[in-house]
Amino acid sequence: MENLYNEDDSKTFIKKYSSWPEELAARVHTSRLLGSESTLVLHGGGNTSVKLRQQGITGENTSVIYIKGSGADLSNIEPDGFSAMKLDPLKKLSILEQLSDKEMDNQLKINMADASSPLPSVEALVHAFLPHKYIDHTHSDSILILTNQKNGEDMIKEALGDKIAVLPYFMSGFPLAKGIFDLYESKPEMEAIIVLNHGIFTFGGDARKAYDRMITYVTKAEDYIKERVKNSPLTISEGIVSIPENTETDAARCAQIIRGACSHKEKYGRPRRFYAEIRNTPDMLDLSLADNASAFCKSGVLTPDHAVRTKNHIAYIGSVPKNDDDLTAVINKEIDSFKNNYQKYFLNHSAAKEGRVEMLDSYPRLFLIAGIGLIALGFTRKQAQAAADIGERTILAKLAAEPLGGYEPIADSHIFDMEYWARQLVKVTRSFTAPLQGQVAVITGAGGAVGFGVADRLLAAGAVVVVSDIDEKRLTKVYDILRARHDRSCIEKHAFDVTDYDQVAKAFENISLMAGGIDLVVPNAGIAHVATIEELDPDKLDSLLAVNLKGTFTVIKAAVPVFRRQGTGGNIVFISSKNVFDPGAAFGAYSASKAGAHQLAKIAALEMAELGVRVNMVNPDAVFGDEDVSSGLWDLVGPDRMKSRGLDAEGLKKYYRQRNLLKKRVKGEHVGNAVVFFASELTPTTGAALPVDGGNPATFSR
């Protein structure tokens, strides 16, 4: 492994964070170096610390330890990502023989030197008990490859030499801290501690020394492994199945079916949907087709710390039938088997626990599919990506471990202890209050005011949103604004032409490859044209019918197989128009094409109810947009309306505002709120048309 330490970079960090202690700035530098290497830590894994003397508000100097905050990511950690804690009271806890989790958390909280600090890492006591100024801890793949062997302790000692010490697996928290402290006292000259099935700790008097030792020992482990597996094949690919002819299409089908099959209702009845992340690198495809793939999936995680994100095992799908019903049956059979085994695992290990332990959901988080690769699930896109990263690293590590003598995972009892530890669960079981959490929404015509407003409100409601428009310049502008306002992991863009069914179907396939499927479709793409029937060019009428009517048809049609495979219902909310009920002169092409699309949406409501899909319509009026995102429709028709009424732009907006009963300006966000209402499924409603126009008697239902 390359040593990335650079003294000039360290000085840059010290200068950049000059308002913080110099030792902490140096700590940030090497922490990021560790976090930048995925074979050392992933998604909040690992931790680092530094001890220093710090002056209090009354002038006295006290010993303080800065330890990585729980859940912080070493790859981008800032000084405020570390928890500042009073060191001396924590060190005194080392004399205890036992300490409950509840009391440990209490001691960590009451000894925080800065109340605004994040909660400290669960391994804070390990760092406090050891005397070294700087301590680094990682879950290095190469270290875990060696420790997850039948004779792992012997291999580690042979690979790393006599300046390290080896500790059997201990539960994180006080047991691990106490075990490491006792081991250190027996061998204070050690340079590193290896905890079997867990990882490596290195230390030093300065940040560089601790980091150098980490890289040195990890490199020794890597070299040891390379030397022993160089002539051994990592997989045996004798072709249990053939690679599917259309892997992208089949991968999308698998993702849609898996995502739907694993969706479930929690105890309070709220549906929980997953997002999916697909990994189809050559390594993943190679292993998915190997005749030892199933065995790899049944062996456990590299370290118990991973189980809360991935569970202990991987579901394996050995064939991908071309027929959707057959594929659904294959996938459901594997999921049912996984769930049954998980429930047995829970019953076996929960019985030994004091008090009531509530079972987590029993659905897999990782699927290895022959010829497709790895599919990971998560309640957020970040969780799905984290599960995929961990799953990919785990599989590659197992490949390397196999030729050494055979991968041997840690006992299930240790996995259970970590998976059901409250300190771990907080990473992935935070409550979700956003009404559209778990949903994937697609909006066409998102480059204009209405599409932008809908996207903004859907993102605020917790959905992952894919914005689309044929005008890539307008689309990019909207995309950039939304990314600045919302979680970037929740916003994607995809340009396609709604008049071309093949493009739409391919786009929906790509979106499913990106997020797992689609739950909400908002057909909004539309164009306008001002002309009397006498003056209307037939070709112009055709173009409006192609976008406004056929475009709505293609989007709804392409969504049907996605909804059918998922089997979890869904919503189509068509952005209709006030003109459907109250058309205007010289606006026939627009009004007629929107009326046709409106009627088509009503037919879709009749046909798709059997799938649990609700189809509703929103009829906005006079949505002008603003200086950031204008309305394409009003950009076109506005000048003519201003001329005919003798108004300027602001005057025209006022005219339409005064025309409605409530005298209110209608904004894109108001249309978005209506879409959120329908997608939230607060009422059993389909086939409805909701006006968002400030009140227009001509559009009242009759």
Under 8 Å between Cβ of 144 and 194: no
pLDDT of 201 above 80: yes
Alpha carbons 153 and 156: distance in angstroms, whole number? 5
Residue 536 falls inside a structural domain: yes
Of 198, 229, 260, the last residue of a domain is 229
Q: What is the pLDDT of residues 461-491, one digit of tens each?
A: 999 999 999 999 999 999 999 999 999 999 9
**Residue 267 or 175, more confident:** 175
Question: In terms of domains, do 27 and 77 share one?
Answer: yes
Kindly state the average pLDDT of the residues 439-453.
97
Instruction: Classify each residue of 683-693 as buried b or exposed e, where b means 16 or more C-beta atoms within 10 Å of its C-beta.
Output: eeebeebbbbb
pLDDT of residue 269: 59
Alpha carbons 276 and 257: distance in angstroms, whole number? 11
pLDDT of 242 above 90: no
Residue from 657, 627, 623 nearest 638 by CA = 623
Alpha carbons 105 and 85: distance in angstroms, whole number? 13
pLDDT of 623 above 80: yes
- Mean pLDDT score of the chain: 93
Place of tokens 């090497």: 30
Helices and strands in the chain: count of H runs, count of E runs: 26, 20
Q: What's the Cα-to-Cα distance from 569 to each of 179, 273, 573, 614, rounded to whole Å? A: 52, 11, 13, 8
Biggest alpha carbon–alpha carbon distance for the chain: 98
Alpha carbons 360 and 424: distance in angstroms, whole number? 13
pLDDT confidence bin for 241, thresholds 50/70/90: very low
pLDDT of 237 above 60: no
Of 359, 392, 425, the last residue of a domain is 425
CATH of the domain at 343: 3.40.225
Alpha carbons 648 and 654: distance in angstroms, whole number? 10
Kindly state the average pLDDT of the residues 270-291.
90
User: Alpha carbon 323 to chain centroid distance?
Assistant: 30
Of 425, 453, 482, the last residue of a domain is 425
pLDDT of 175 above 90: yes
pLDDT confidence bin for 59, thresholds 50/70/90: confident
CA angle 691, 572, 323 (to 5 degrees): 170
pLDDT of residue 126: 98
Q: What is the pLDDT of residues 416-436, one digit of tens each?
A: 999 999 887 776 665 567 999
Kindly state the average pLDDT of the residues 387-404.
91
Residue from 308, 335, 144 nearest 221 by CA = 144
Domain count, the chain: 3
pLDDT of residue 429: 63
Question: In terms of domains, do 611 and 468 share one?
Answer: yes
Question: In terms of domains, do 128 and 174 share one?
Answer: yes
Residue 234 falls inside a structural domain: no
Q: HEC string of 635-661?
A: HHHHHHHHHHHCCCHHHHHHHHHHHCC
pLDDT of residue 80: 96
Residues of the chain above pLDDT 70, percent: 96
Residue 701 falls inside a structural domain: no
Question: In terms of domains, do 568 and 478 share one?
Answer: yes
pLDDT confidence bin for 441, thresholds 50/70/90: very high
CATH of the domain at 592: 3.40.50.720
Question: In terms of domains, do 414 and 458 share one?
Answer: no
Question: In terms of domains, do 519 and 563 share one?
Answer: yes
pLDDT confidence bin for 232, thresholds 50/70/90: low
Residue 240 falls inside a structural domain: no
Question: In terms of domains, do 455 and 413 share one?
Answer: no
Kindly state the average pLDDT of the residues 28-35.
98
pTM of the model: 0.93
Conformational region of residue 635, where left means phi above 0, alpha means psi within -120 to 50, and beta covers everything else: alpha
Under 8 Å between Cβ of 168 and 196: yes
Residue 62 falls inside a structural domain: yes
Burial class (CB in 10 A: 0-12, 13-18, 19+), 33: buried
pLDDT confidence bin for 15, thresholds 50/70/90: very high
* Six token digits for residue 613: 């899909």
pLDDT of 86 above 90: yes
Of 186-200, 241-255, 569-583, 669-683, least confident by mean pLDDT is: 241-255
Alpha carbons 641 and 646: distance in angstroms, whole number? 8
pLDDT of residue 645: 86
pLDDT of residue 71: 81
Place of tokens 């339409």: 656
Domain residue limits at 157:
7-229
Residue from 363, 368, 366 nearest 292 by CA = 368
Residue 341 falls inside a structural domain: yes
Residue 57 falls inside a structural domain: yes
Residues of the chain above pLDDT 90, percent: 82
Residue 593 falls inside a structural domain: yes
Q: What is the pLDDT of residues 586-611, one digit of tens each?
A: 999 999 999 999 999 999 999 999 99
pLDDT of 142 above 90: yes
Composition of the chain by helix, strand, coil, percent to 5: 50, 15, 35
Question: In terms of domains, do 137 and 284 share one?
Answer: no
pLDDT of residue 627: 78
pLDDT confidence bin for 192, thresholds 50/70/90: very high
Residue from 249, 162, 164, 148 nearest 213 by CA = 164
pLDDT of 77 above 80: yes
pLDDT of residue 247: 87
Question: In terms of domains, do 393 and 522 share one?
Answer: no
Cβ-based neighbours of 646, under 8 Å, separated by 6 or more: none
Which residue type, as a one-letter code, is found at position 7? E
